[in-house]
Structure 1
Amino acid sequence: MSAETLTAESDFFAPRAAIDELLYEFLTEKAQTATVPRQSALALLLRDFITGGKRVRPLLCVAGWHAARGEGDPARIIRLAASIELAHACALIHDDIMDAADSRRGRPTVHRMLADHHPTPSMAERFGISGAILVGDLALVWSDELLHTTPMPDANRTAVLRCVDMARAELIAGQHLDLLTTSDLDVSIETTLTVVRYKTAKYTIERPLQVGAALAGAGQQVLDACTAYGVPLGEAFQLRDDVLGVFGDPAVTGKSRLDDLREGKCTSLIVHALRSAAPHQAGRLRALIGDPRLGEPEAAEVRTLLTNTGARAAVEQMIEERYRQALGALAAPFPQSAARTLETVAEAAVHRTA
């Protein structure tokens, strides 16, 4: 890795400590000043849950601020970035409920942890899910508190709030499409990419960049450049997630590689395999994908089929094409330092193992 790449990577991750510190202090204060019975426990649970996250979205928010030549007190962008992370915590907690996931980042999910600590087995499952919904809602409320108490000019605030509102609405729309297509093994590639675009690409890359840029007072040219870079990179990011969800090492990813297969998620990987498979291969895939009792031997068979049908190679090509498209959007109007940082971000997003 070149010295220039190391510098760009360092620049991107530099704000993480400040974001982490603000979140820790904010949630600790919420726990210490809670006037509602038992709310302090929820604040501490949320604080523990967000510990160890990658902070991709808040860091991209800061990168967007730099890309738009943000000036003034950096505490403003750190506070806004922390708000994005709390909103993301809400999304993760609720997503784990919808996916019936047992682990996140190598630890029990919030609903699983709450269920495991409930004294009445017959009520534990429902208690865990209900409690996790509330923890997610609380994360969103406190995200709004950080958002609305970030100092900024009124004109910039209008642009920031527009980007935040679009990010949240698009995420919900994408999650809904994901629910509609789960277990439907006959959806098209175009449908799976629509899910990816709204569930992940816009929410993960495009909108966080635009939120930071809007705080800096960016014009439409910069916001459009965030889109041209963010959407293809966000699609590549999710496609990589789809591959890791089946082929990744759980010790590295912190998630089971059986969950997506058991749930019957019809990703681009699965669609490509079914399109290219011989009849007997397609029959095995349809028999195995979506089986809630699927174990590692069956998952290994699915992985072999995904490789032999060329599906894995096809998705890797899709990732590379989008990666190149994102890099092509960095020529203008970003300053060179910001473009170098975003180039490093793109590399890390698509060529990762977790």
Structure 2
Amino acid sequence: MLPTDAADLRARVDKALAAFLAAQRDRLTTIDPALAEVSAALEDFVLGGGKRLRPAFAYWGFRGAGGADSDQVVSAVAALELVQASALIHDDLMDRSDTRRGEPSVHRRFERLHTSAGWRGGAAAFGDSAAVLLGDLSLVWSDELLQTSGAGVAEITRARPIFDEMRTEVTVGQYLDVLTQATADTSVERAGKVARFKSAKYTVERPLLFGAALAGASDDLFAAYSAFGLPLGEAFQFRDDVLGVFGDPAQTGKPAGDDLREGKRTYLVAAAFAGLDEPGRAELDAGLGDQGLDDDGVRRLRDLIRASGALAATEERIGQLMADALAALDAAEIDDEARTVLRRLADAATRRTV
């Protein structure tokens, strides 16, 4: 059983999302039948996959703080999946990614819709516009799902500042990621900051604190969750960086070497620049961001990164961050069931292949 399935959580989150999105479908098609495609695209995207890690960290953060299980709390933490949908739709657009989880990305889906219908204007521009709007709509709906979850007013009031901070952090983290590519900043310090704000805090720390706030946790537990969640979130992102370069497309659902073609200046890449000689850095710099990079080019850049020692150093860093996170979890004053599931979630987040 996957750790996200403990307490039947993943199925319950999916049920809450499906009910919410079905109601929104009726709402949209009442406005105009043409919006059925918008509704279908978001239902397919949100319900078509995903590990549900963020709701799981939030739920077990809530349970660890002494919160009692309820469908209302499950609906509240399910709102995090709509934030995630928004981030992924926009991320795919900015990265010009063709696929997500083995299916066409949202901008490509609407580009194909335009082409197949024979509409006027540019199909690519239509797809891009649709993706911006659907990503925005997902973010709006995340607020609505939280507010209508059935959780108490006091609980939502406590959790809202963390929810808002999380959405701000992931948005500015995305901007820093784009900026780092544009400026070709290869410093480990910049790569670490991007990882922290684009993914680390948003994936683990903030969801834990969101759950803790719903439960009315103590300041000490908030500090313990941060000490656990931040290093674990960084390890999660560094694992994602490794998969973006060395992952198997059959498992990741994305073409091999996509992060290299997109010019991602990740911690892995920054460590490679630090470890290579001048000719090696020049070759890596020339290949990064080359949209026409073929399989041989991907293999060459992979070899450079591996030879620089960056892959080994990143794996070592993941291991150290994981050790720090688990030490903080062991010291946290939470019940044993929550501790056990959070430990399993930590392992799943850092040892995954997709």
Distance 1:77 1:257 in 2: 38
Mapped contact 2:3–2:348 kept (Cα < 8 A) = no
Higher mean Cα deviation, 125-134 or 114-123?
114-123
Q: Aligned partners of 1:24, 1:320: CA distance in 2, in Å?
A: 37
Between 1:226-235 and 1:179-188, the stretch displaced more is 179-188
Counterparts of 2:305 and 2:157, CA distance in 1: 46
Partner of 2:8: 14
The secondary structure found in structure 2 opposite 1:117 is: helix
* Structure 2 residues not aligned, in runs of 5+: none
Which of 61, 64, 67 in structure 1 is aligned with 2:64? Answer: 67
In the alignment, structure 1 residue 102 sits paired with structure 2 residue 98: yes
- Cα distance in 2, alignment partners of residues 10 and 246 from structure 1: 26
Q: Which residue of 1 aligns with 2:251?
A: 252
Deviations 1:95-143 (A, max 9, x none): 1111111110010000011001202485101100111111112212221
Q: Which residue of 2 aligns with 1:188?
A: 187
C-alpha distance in 2 between matches for 1:303 and 1:328? 33
| 1:36 aligns to 2:35 (yes or no) | no
For residues 249-299 of structure 1, the C-alpha deviation after alignment (integer angstroms, 9 at most, x for no partner) is 010011123321112111111111111112222221122112121111000
Partner of 2:296: 297
Offset from partner CA, 1:278-322 (integer Å, 9 cap, x none): 222222112211212111100000111111111100111111110
Shift of 1:9: 3.0
Give runs of aligned pairs for residues 51-90 of structure 1, distance below 5 A.
51-71=48-68, 74-90=70-86
RMSD: 1.7
Q: 1:314 to 1:121 in 2, by over 3 A?
A: farther
Q: Deviations for 1:159-199, whole angstroms, at most 9, x for unmatched residues?
A: 20011011011111111111110154443111110111111
CA distance in 2, matches of 1:226, 1:238: 18
Residues 236 and 158 of structure 1: CA distance in aligned 2, closer, same or farther (over 3 Å): same
Letter in 1 for 2:23: E
1:10 CA drift (Å): 6.8
- Partners of 1:188 and 1:338 lie apart in 2 by 37
Q: Secondary structure at the match of 1:261?
A: helix
Q: Give me the whole-angstrom Cα distance separating, in 1, the residues matched to 2:185 and 2:92.
A: 25
**CA apart distance, 1:75:** 1.0
Instruction: Tell me the equivalent position of 1:149.
Output: 148
Distance 1:78 1:57 in 2: 12
Instruction: Using structure 1 for the length normalisation, give the TM-score.
Output: 0.94
Confirm or deny: 8 A CA contact 1:236 1:323 kept in the other structure: yes
- Evaluate the alpha carbon distance shift between residue 209 and residue 202 of structure 1 in structure 2; reply closer, same or farther with a 3 A threshold: same
- Structure 2 residue 324 is the aligned partner of structure 1 residue 325: yes
* Aligned 8 A contact 2:106 2:131 in 1: yes
Alignment of structure 1 residues 96-135 onto 2, 5 Å: 96-118=92-114, 119-120=118-119, 122-135=121-134
**Aligned equivalents of 1:258 and 1:130: distance in 2?**
26
Partner Cα distance (1:93, 1:10) in 2: 23
Percent identical across equivalent pairs? 44
Q: How many residues align?
A: 347
Q: Distance in 2 between matches of 1:260 and 1:194?
A: 18
Please tell me the residue identity of whatever aligns with 1:274: F
Q: In structure 1, the residue corresponding to 2:31 is in which secondary structure?
A: coil
Deviations 1:188-222 (A, max 9, x none): 11111011111101111011111111111112111
Q: Distance in 1 between matches of 2:151 and 2:308?
A: 53
Maintained 8 Å contact 2:201/2:233: yes
Residue 27 of structure 1 contacts residue 44 of structure 1 at CA under 8 Å; is this kept in 2?
no
- 1:93, distance to aligned residue in structure 2 (A): 0.7
Name the TM-score, length of structure 2 as normaliser: 0.94
The one-letter code sitting in structure 2 at the alignment partner of 1:108 is P
Q: 5+ residue gaps in structure 1?
A: 1-5
How far 1:156 sits from its partner (Å)? 2.7
Greater CA drift, 146-155 or 305-314: 146-155
Q: Which residue of structure 2 lines up, in the alignment, with residue 233 of structure 1?
A: 232
Equivalent in the alignment of 1:275? 274
**One-letter code of the match for 2:21?**
L
Pairwise CA distance, 1:228: 0.7
Indicate conservation of the 8 Å contact 1:91/1:136, yes or no: yes
Tell me the SS of whatever aligns to 1:257. coil
